[in-house]
Structure 1
Amino acid sequence: MRQIILDTETTGIDPRDGHRLVEIGAVEMINRRLTGRTYHQYINPQRHIDAEVVAVHGITNEKVANEPVFADVAEAFWEFIQGAELIIHNAPFDVGFIDHELAQLNSQGTMPLGPVADYCGVLDTLVMARQKHPGQRNSLDALCKRYAIDNGHRVLHGALLDAEILAEVYLAMTGGQTALTLEANSESQSSSQQVVDEGMAINRLQLEPGRLRVIRPSADEQAAHQAKCAAASIAWPYTAGEHA
């Protein structure tokens, strides 16, 4: 399964008020393994960025003044996400902004793309977290703390950084697998898997069929075992019916 973990930063809260995208960050995961492929783009929103939003993500008007507008990056972005399942924390927010940008392109007749849900699956990890942890805080920072995921480098919000952190959170919430380590053993030809489950490491031993050594007891060991069993039956004379 191909999944894209995605996050955006914007000029404000609501695209219906004319707010626009200023950053998109996304990482690719196939069969629960990050592939190393990413998409990251700053965008010139062609409007003022609200000061209170700058305080959250640190993206100023000056920083994106020379970046491309969305129309110039839309095709490359669409190629990256099309056909994948998008994993987003509070998906209606990000998808709403992306659909708004795509709708503007469609209205201009420049690029008939979207809406997102017609071409991609969408999984909202905020909804998933609320179902899994009802009545608790389920922000990305809260989930990092709950699943022992290091986000100390996250001072300001950033789309690519948040997408990378969300990938770890998603893996922890859906089965606990955030790391997979294989270690060869020359004698037994075995491998060891380490699975991190909500901060607790579990080491699982995998052995090749037919490589497990079977050690059978000697005649003296069998005799000693039988003698011990006989002594135990004498020390405990109750029948099954009496014990019940």
Structure 2
Amino acid sequence: MSGKTAVVTAAAQGIGRATALAFAREGATVVATDVNLDKLSELEGTERLTVRRLDVLDPRAIRQAAADLGAVDIIVNCAGFVHHGTILDCEEKDWDFSFDLNVRAMYRVIKAFLPALLERDQGASIINIASIASSVRGIPNRFVYGASKAAVIGLTKSVAADFMTRGIRCNAICPGTIQTPSLDERIAASGDAEAARKAFVARQPLGRLGTPEEIAAMAVYLAGDESTFTTGQIHVVDGGMTT
């Protein structure tokens, strides 16, 4: 990935952080962004990596970032939120927030950066973090999360179809259950952390949780030249959960 520039959202922790670090190790120049600048600042000092505060719910901030950074080679949309519950547990505000963060933020980032990529006319790779939830299979108590991640698949395929002849590739990664700080928070909030963790582990036939680094490895492939014949696809990394 030497010579490439990448922008990664939600890079302060979890999949975003692992992806930003993996890209830097592979030789890319990385702009790691997140709304949590305190946590993001832990990445300062990493070779070929700079940090930038970015709230992906703020359209003006996204447009400013795109203007400042210009034509990049790789965009990774990692920001997301997992709402727990069925349709009966989903209020209008829950629907709005989930779609704003999980879908609308990706739309805004891609739309803001895409004109410069097209003007440069050298191609680019856009990688969207989706989920197996509803985009591949239904998961209980993940109604609005699953609906929003299914929308990410549609967004991904539409961008790929519209701009593939201009060298813009757009793919999605669909993780299974990944060991992240977000998962730890959901387990802690369950009321029975031990039982909740066992349940999360049990739904992976491989018998363990995935790691952020395993998702980052797929992102490295999709960002690099080895995947230049791949676009508009969903890439499942789920420990056999959808087998």
TM-score (norm 1): 0.27
TM-score (norm 2): 0.27
Q: Which has the higher helix share?
A: 2
Q: Which has the higher strand share?
A: 1
